Amino acid sequence: MDLTKENIQNLRQDYRSASLSENDVDSNPILQFKKWFQDAVNSQLYEPNVMTLATSDRFGKPTARIVLLKGIDEDGFVFYTNYESKKGHDIVENPQAALVFFWPELERQVRIEGMVSKVSEEVSSEYFHSRPIGSQIGAMASPQSEVISGRELLERKVEQLTTQYAGQEIPRPLHWGGYLVEPTHIEFWQGRPSRLHDRIIYDFVEGSWIINRLAP
């Protein structure tokens, strides 16, 4: 297909697989998210924990990238990264973030906004040591988000660290660990026909979750 403006404009799907009502959702959005996430896992979707993470610096300049959800509990959503990366610097300057999950096979999307803080060093170390050895070495070797002269630099560093820590436990780098996104706003989106989608939002107000419906 030629990428003409008309062809791009005509790329569309009519969503019909399900509906979403404020009368059916759980009163707790974390439990509602877990239900939808379990549906995605049960449907054997490819990496259902893929999410877009959006941050911004002190000037409000936004940046978005794909990361992986690695934990969910009553406090919020956890991911891991290099604290000295672009996202890490953004979070220091502006500790707010947005997450987006999109499961097209289920015609569902979840949008999350909240405050960001580091998880404990103990939690970060426990997760770090649960990762494959190659991933642990990679976290040590990569100066994430920095300009480098070439891939050879990384490969030499990986080779050096692999030799150095052969047969030993690899220490978690202090510049690597987890972040918790504690939500204040969560939206559940279910695709519907004719673009009249269902949008149910939760806002955390004075210690309680308030549920409303948004126009599509």
Two structure tokens written together for 46: 């490819």
Q: Among residues 58, 65, 156, 195, which one is catalytic?
A: 195
Q: Is 195 noted as a catalytic residue in this protein?
A: yes
Rounded to whole angstroms, the Cα distance separating 92 from 114 reads: 14
Beta strands in 69-118 (DSSP E): 71-73, 76-82, 96-103, 108-118
The count of C-alpha atoms lying within 13 angstroms of the C-alpha of 115, restricted to the half-sphere facing its C-beta, is 4
Which residues carry out catalysis? 195
